[in-house]
Amino acid sequence: MTESLEPRCEIVLDDVQVTLLGTAHVSRISVEQVERLIQSGDYDAVAVELCRSRFNALMDPRSLAQTDLFSVIRQNRVYMVAASLALSAYQQRLADQFGIEPGAEQRMALRLARERDLPVLLIDREIGITLKRISANLGWWQRATLFSGLLAAMVTSNEVSEDEVERLKEGDVLETTFAEFATDRKDLYVPLIEERDRYMAAKLRREVARLGVKRVLAVVGVGHLKGIADKLGQNREDAVDIIAELERIPAPGRWPRILAWTVLALILGGFAWGFAMNPDLGWDLVLNWMLITGGLSALGTLMAAGHPLTILSAFLAAPLTTLNPAIGAGMVTGAVELYLRKPNVGDFGRLRADVTSWTGWWRNRVARILVVFALSNLGAAIGTYVAGFQMVERIVQSGS
């Protein structure tokens, strides 16, 4: 029978029987086995390897259209959204290549649970939290390399390699997506796999106790099967404490903030020095700062095909935002672009397909807002250092 092809593990939690079914996210056999087990009527609850946001996207693709882009821009979550789109683009490549949508076994579990009126337990950690903990676990250079690799992967036309397919058969789309681009998988293993094993085991224990169910089928990637089973077998740590610990967002590192404020202090000190030496020199330094930071930010916005008024806003905002480490030029340009070119329902509906090509990023209004945000920020950042070096050069020349 094909049932033996997918690994299963039976665990007893107090008086609750938990069946862990290890599935492969690109396997039709997994879909068939999920259907067979739930249809057997042996279970009174179904758990799936999904968080709330992924569940909403799976059950209602239109939920993406309800995204509050103003909040995304204001809370500086643009890069997290872009990373999530990278995952979606990778999954779209899988769907196109294999003719089966990754997570089809989860869709089957959710549909049958709803038909049989069984409670559904969402046991995975929110993807946004996982991405932030991944970011905190990497150095700034590794983080930049990983993010650029993810962006490049979104627009590749290459088929998924045999090695990637084998990793997918081991069960984790998130791990495979990031492992394709990361140079050091050890830094990714803890937040991607180990922490999620602990989290899903704790969440399963908490939800089982809350609902009072007796027979639970948990559909998880086979790569998580052993880890979750081991954590359930230990059953020593308090589930609520584990969940709280693993949902905590790590505090940002001190050095990036120290560097940002140090650069600001040096720039302001340069202005003050210039005015002290000669008021005309001081005003020249200010004008030079405005032209370089504003000009390069505007150039980035132009490259992103921003609205003409968005380009103007980049030119006006960058000289000020570069003097405030808490605000980026992209927060201004992204908001202006969103106001001037509001995305429609069609833009949200086509978003996942559009971001698989370079032209789609500029064609889709939602994606273009993200590009405007990123490139205007990049231009302003480059402008800060170019103008800063020129400031030092002018002061040295004037003092000699």
- Rounded to whole angstroms, the Cα distance separating 19 from 239 reads 19
With a cut of 90, say whether residue 30 has pLDDT above it. Answer: no
- The pLDDT of residue 310 is 97
| pLDDT tens profile 62-91 | 666 567 777 878 777 777 777 677 666 666
- Helical pair 195-211 and 239-246, crossing angle rounded to 10 deg: 140
399 torsion bin: left (phi>0), alpha (psi -120 to 50), beta (else): alpha
Whether this model's pTM surpasses 0.85: no
H helix or E strand, kind and range, residue 159: none
- The pLDDT of residue 174 is 60
Quickly count helices (H) and strands (E) in the chain: 20, 5
Read out DSSP for 173-230? HHHHHHHTT-S-THHHHIIIIIHHHHHHHHHHHHHHHHHT-SEEEEEEEHHHHHHHHH
CB 377 within 8 A of CB 286: no
Cα dist. 373→3, 19, 103, 314, 337 in Å? Answer: 49, 46, 31, 10, 9
H helix or E strand, kind and range, residue 70: helix 69-74
CA angle 167, 173, 176 (to 5 degrees): 50
% of the chain beyond a pLDDT of 70? 78
> Which token pair is 116?
């049989």
With a cut of 90, say whether residue 48 has pLDDT above it. Answer: yes
Residues in the chain: 400
Instruction: Say which residue, 53 or 212, is predicted with more confidence.
Output: 212
- Rounded to whole angstroms, the Cα distance separating 260 from 278 reads 27
- The pLDDT of residue 55 is 86
CA angle 130, 345, 114 (to 5 degrees): 60
- The pLDDT of residue 356 is 73
Sign, CA dihedral 310-312-313-319, equals: positive
- The pLDDT of residue 110 is 95
Q: For 63, which DSSP code?
A: G
- The pLDDT of residue 6 is 64
* Average pLDDT of the residues in 187-199: 85
Read out DSSP for 128-146? HHHHHHHHHTS-HHHHHHH
Q: Choose among 366, 307, 376, 370: nearest CA to 67.
A: 366
Q: Choose among 258, 274, 270: nearest CA to 389.
A: 270
3-state secondary structure of 27: coil
- Rounded to whole angstroms, the Cα distance separating 316 from 293 reads 9
What are the residues facing 216 on neighbouring strands?
18, 45
171 torsion bin: left (phi>0), alpha (psi -120 to 50), beta (else): left
Q: Which pLDDT band holds residue 309 (cuts at 50, 70, 90)? A: very high
- Rounded to whole angstroms, the Cα distance separating 79 from 351 reads 16
| pLDDT tens profile 94-117 | 666 666 666 788 889 999 999 999
Q: For 7, which DSSP code?
A: -
CB 162 within 8 A of CB 193: no
